[in-house]
Amino acid sequence: MTNSNWPLWEVFVRAKNGLSHKHAGSVHAADARMAIEAARDVYTRRMEGVSLWVVPSSAIVASDPKETTDLFAPAEDKVYRHPTFYTIPEGVKNI
Amino acid sequence: MYTTELKDKNQKSAPVSLASEDPEKLAAFEARVAADDFIEPKDWMPEAYRKTLIRQISQHAHSEIVGMLPEGNWITRAPNLRRKSILLAKVQDEGGHGLYLYAAAETLGISREEMVEALHAGKAKYSTIFNYPTLTWADIGAIGWLVDGAAIMNQVPLQRTSYGPYARAMVRICKEESFHQRQGYEIMSVLAAGTAEQKRMAQDALDRWWWPSLMMFGPPDENSPNTAQSVRWRIKRETNDELRQKFVDVTVPQAEAIGLRVPDPALKWNEARGSYDFGDIDWEEFYAVVRGEGPVAKERTQARVQAWEDGAWVREAASAHAAKCAMKVAAE
Amino acid sequence: MKRADEMLFHHALRLGDDALILGQRLSEWCGHAPMLEIDLALANIGLDLLGQAMHFLNLAGEIEGKGRDADALAFRRDVLDFRNCLLVEQPNGDFAQTIARQFLFSNWQELLMREIAAAPEPRLSAIGAKAVKEIAYHAKFASEWVVRLGDGTDESRARMIAGLDWMWRFVDELFDKKDGAPSHRAEWDMRIARTLAEARLELPKPRRGAMGGRHGHHSEHLGHLLTEMQFLQRAYPGATW
C-alpha cells in the first residue's frame, strides 16, 4: 500500500527582480512540479512575474539556536569591520 | 476565538502545567516573550506552549477549511457572475488560509495528516460558527459581515503573536482578509435596500447569525481559565468578553446604517460605559455546539471526511507516480 | 444585426458559454477536492474561466446591441440558446473524470485562443491575449495529472481510462467545421497522443461523436446545471444583487 502522505516542501518567493527569495511557508506535494504549481496557487495568487523556489523540507539544514553564540558571536573584538573604526580627515566627501 | 477553550462545560480544563520545565530556561523564555521578541521553530519552548500552540493553530486552520463549506454551498447559486467570482475567490482564500496555518502548525512537530485525522475523529475542534446552515443568499452576506468581522477582530492582534510562523501566517491572512468583510456587508446593504423579499431575507439572516457570531468569541472570561497565560504568551491579546463587547459596539451601527434590526430586545446604548449593553447569550446552545451537536455539525464532518476518503486514491496515485519517476532517475 | 455582427455575436457566445459552464462545474469542487492544494488549483482555473466568460459574454451582448450584458445572457437563457460544447457540461464525476474533461478541453481551448488572440476584431483579440496565458497553465496542469493518474496505481489507471472513455465521444464536436473555423485537430491529436503515451495509456477507441451543443441541443446535464445556476434570478426577476 503506497504511502499517500505527500512530503512537505518549503516555498521561497522572489516578488520582483532585485529582491531575494523570501520564505513564504510550505505546501504538501507528491513531486517537484506539483510543488511549484501548488506554491504558485497558494503563495502567489495576487502577484505577477515572480520566481519560486521549492525545496523538500527534509533537505533544509538549519543552524541550532543553541550554537548561536558560537556561530554568530557579535564581532565585538573585530572592530576593523566597522566603518567607525577608521578616522577620516574632516571635509573629505563621499567616504 | 481560536483560543476558545472548546471543552465541555463540565470538563474544567486543567491549568496548563509548567512545573516540570527547567526554571532557568522557562524564565529566559518568558522574558523574551515579554520583551515582544519572537519564538522561532527551533528555539527552546515549554512543552505547554508547544501543545497550546498546536491546538490553537490547528483549530484555527480547521476553522478555515470547514468554513469553506457554508459559503461553498452557494457558489453554484450565486445571483450574478460578479458575486459568483467574488465568492469563489473568497472561499479559495479561506482554503489558502487553512493551508498557511497547517504549515505553521507543522513547524511545531505535528503533521498535516495527524491534524486532519484529529478533525475527522472529532478530537480536534473548529469554530462553532460553521456548524450553522446557510439557508439563503443573504446568509452569505451575513457570514462575510459578521463572521469575518469577528475573525478580523481576533486576527489583527495575532500579527504580533509570540510564535514567528503563526505571526507571519497572520500577517499574510490579514492582508487578504480586507475584501472578505466588505463584500459581505455590501451584499447585506444591497439586499436591505432591495425588494421586500430581499429585505426579509437580509433581516432573517441577521436574526439567525447574530447570536452565534457573539458566541464565536468563546465563553465568558470567568469560564476561560487559560486566558492569563495566553495573554502573557501573546497568543491572545484581549479577553473573550473584551472582544465580544468591541464587536457589538462596532457592528450595531453598521446594522442600523442599512436599516436592519439586531435581534436583541435588551440591546441598549449605555452612555456611562460608552458601550452597548446587550442581552444574555444562551450558553447551553454554545456548549451543545462545542459538544458536536450543532445543527449541521454532522454534515460538515461528513463532507470533510468524504472529501478526504474519496480523494485517497488520488493522493496514492500521485505518490506512486513520484516513486516510479524517482526509481527511473536512480536507474539512469 | 448585420451578418458579420451576427457571426461575431455567436462566436463570442460560444467562447463565453464554454468558459461559463466549465467554470460552474469546477466551482462545484470547492471544499471537496482530494487535497487542499488541489482545491486551490481547481478554484484558480474556475476563476480564470469565469473571468473569460464575463468578458466574452459582455462582448456578445455589446455586439447584439439589445441591452443584454453577461449576467442577462448567463442567467436568463434556457438550454436551447446556450452555445457551449457538450464536453464542458459533463458532470465532474470523480477526480479522473474531471481531469479527463479538463485535459481534452484546455488543450483544444489553448489552440483556439492563440488564434483568437490574433483575431482582427480588437475587442476579441484583447480577451484572447489574456486568456491564452491562463489556458496554457490549465492545459499543463491537466496533462500532468493525466500522467500521474494514468501511470500511478492500478486504481488510478482504471479511473483515468474510465474518465477518458466518458469524455471521448465529445471530442469531435470541438473540431466540427460547420462554422467554417479552421480545425486544429492534427496538432491537438499530437498533444493528446504525447501525454497519453507518457501516461502509458492507449488512445480511446474512435466512436461516433455526439453533436448539438453549438446549436442549443445539449445533453440532459445542462438543464440541471442551469436550474441551479439561474435559480435566484428566475425566482426574483428584476432584483439587484
Question: The pTM is what?
Answer: 0.93
DSSP letters of B14-60? PPPP-TTS-HHHHHHHHHHHHTTPPB-TTS---HHHHHHHHHHHHHH
pLDDT, tens only, C135-161: 999 999 999 999 999 999 999 999 999
pLDDT for B186 beyond 80 = yes
Nearest by CB to C153, which of A2, A31, A33? Answer: A2
pLDDT for B14 beyond 90 = no
Inform me whether the C-beta atom of residue C216 falls under 8 Å from chain B C-beta atoms: no
Report pLDDT for B235.
87
pLDDT, tens only, A53-88: 999 999 999 888 777 666 666 555 555 665 666 677
Q: How far apart are CA C39 and CA B93, in angstroms?
A: 11
Instruction: Give A59 to chain B, closest Cα distance, Å.
Output: 15
Length of chain C: 241
Report pLDDT for A5.
87
Cβ–Cβ of B319/A30 closer than 8 Å?
yes
Q: Across residues B148-154, what is the average pLDDT?
A: 92
Inform me whether the C-beta atom of residue A25 falls under 8 Å from chain C C-beta atoms: no
Q: Nearest 10 degrees: CA dihedral of A17, A21, A25, A26? A: 100
pLDDT, tens only, C52-75: 999 999 999 999 999 999 999 999
Residue type, A95: I
Q: Across residues B28-40, what is the average pLDDT?
A: 94
Helix (H) or strand (E) holding A13: strand A8-14
Take residue A49 and report the three cell numbers written for it. Answer: 512575474
In C, which residues are within 8 Å of A54 by CB distance? none
ipTM value: 0.96
Nearest by CB to C47, which of B65, B89, B307? Answer: B89
Inform me whether the C-beta atom of residue C155 falls under 8 Å from chain B C-beta atoms: yes
Q: Across residues B152-168, what is the average pLDDT?
A: 93
Helix-helix angle B196-215:B240-257, to 10 degrees: 170
Report pLDDT for B12.
47
Q: pLDDT band for A1, please (50, 70, 90 cuts).
A: very low
Please state, for a pLDDT cut of 90, what percent of chain A lies above it: 45
Give the bridge partners for B163, in sequence order.
B39
For the four alpha carbons of A51, B99, C134 and C8, in that order, the dihedral sign comes to negative
pLDDT, tens only, B256-303: 999 999 999 999 999 999 999 999 999 999 999 999 999 999 999 999
Contact call for residues C163 and C93 (beta carbons, < 8 A)? yes
Q: Across residues C212-234, what is the average pLDDT?
A: 98
Share the mean pLDDT of chain C: 96
Report pLDDT for B170.
95
Q: How far apart are CA B128 and CA B204, in angstroms?
A: 20
Nearest by CB to B314, which of C95, C232, C240? Answer: C95
Report pLDDT for A81.
61
Instruction: Give B69 to chain C, closest Cα distance, Å.
Output: 6
DSSP letters of A31-94? SHHHHHHHHHHHH-TT--S-EEEEEEGGG-----GGGHHHHT---TT-GGGSGGGS---TT---
Minimum CA–CA partner of C54 in chain B: B81
A2 or C48, greater pLDDT: C48
Chains that touch B (3 or more CB pairs under 8 A): A, C
Cβ–Cβ of A45/C148 closer than 8 Å?
no
Q: How far apart are CA C17 and CA C23, in angstroms?
A: 10
Chain A residues bordering chain B (beta-carbon distance below 8 Å): 1-6, 8, 24-28, 30-31, 34, 42, 45-46, 62, 64-66
Q: Of B148, B228, B224, whose CA–CA distance to B185 is shortest?
A: B148
Cβ–Cβ of B321/A31 closer than 8 Å?
yes
pLDDT for B15 beyond 70 = no
Q: pLDDT band for B11, please (50, 70, 90 cuts).
A: very low
Instruction: Give C112 to chain B, closest Cα distance, Å.
Output: 24
In B, which residues are within 8 Å of C241 by CB distance? 79-80, 83, 137, 187, 190-191, 194
Instruction: Give B78 to chain A, closest Cα distance, Å.
Output: 22
Inform me whether the C-beta atom of residue C158 falls under 8 Å from chain B C-beta atoms: no
Site of grid cell 447569525? B209
